[in-house]
Amino acid sequence: IVDAYNDPTIASDLAKFSSTFGLPQASLSVVSQTGSKTALPKNNAGWSSEIALDVEWAHAIAPGAKILLVEAKSDSLTDLMAAVDDARSAAGVSVVSMSWGTSEFQTETSYDSHFTTPAGHAGVTFVAASGVWGSWYGPDYPASSPNVLSVGGTTLSLDSSGNVLSETPWQDSTGGTSSYEYAAS
């Protein structure tokens, strides 16, 4: 999981989340964008909420997964990409999840190489939030990269047996055709 800044209480919050919802204790490692376990970025209350949401629900969806949280030193694209590079290169990583994004921009294709599997590493899947601004502003980047799986928010309705009755996208979930990226072939 790649996020910006540090959440100083993520380990204890995750333990409480796991206990509350009857989940096994999580395997969580937290590092900075340089891979340091001790020189973590400065704390940021706004991003701490995002980090908690990302980590806790990743654990709920995959309770046996080993979670590596890579914290960028800021929410600048340069720092977030450095964190993506650290995450994708980490031993054993198979998925890099990014719940952040920005409006598309003309030079975004120059960043697409960050969303590729490094040489000598097993395949890595990159997942990013589609965005929350609605189609008015178009798709978010990096979700619009052909190297990234874009995921938007939906509400699932199930019957008492767990069968899907319907799935509805959230009102302001973003999507659409990229102005700068070609579709993956």
Judge contact between 112 and 149, C-beta under 8 A: no
Query: Tens of pLDDT along 16-46?
Result: 999 999 999 999 999 999 999 999 999 999 9
Tell me the average pLDDT of the chain.
92
DSSP 64: T
Least confident span in 1-15, 28-42, 143-157:
143-157
- CA–CA dist 99, 17 (Å, integer): 19
**AA identity, residue 178:** S
E strands of 6-59, at which residues?
27-32
pLDDT value at position 151?
85
- CA–CA dist 130, 37 (Å, integer): 30
Query: Tens of pLDDT along 69-121?
Result: 999 999 999 999 999 999 999 999 999 999 999 888 999 999 999 999 999 99
Provide Rg for the chain, Cα atoms.
17
Maximum distance among all alpha carbons in the chain? 48
pLDDT value at position 134?
58
Residue 125 has pLDDT above 80, yes or no: yes
Judge contact between 58 and 40, C-beta under 8 A: no
Least confident span in 12-16, 76-80, 141-145:
141-145
Greater model confidence, 155 or 18: 18
Judge contact between 83 and 69, C-beta under 8 A: no
pTM given for the model: 0.89
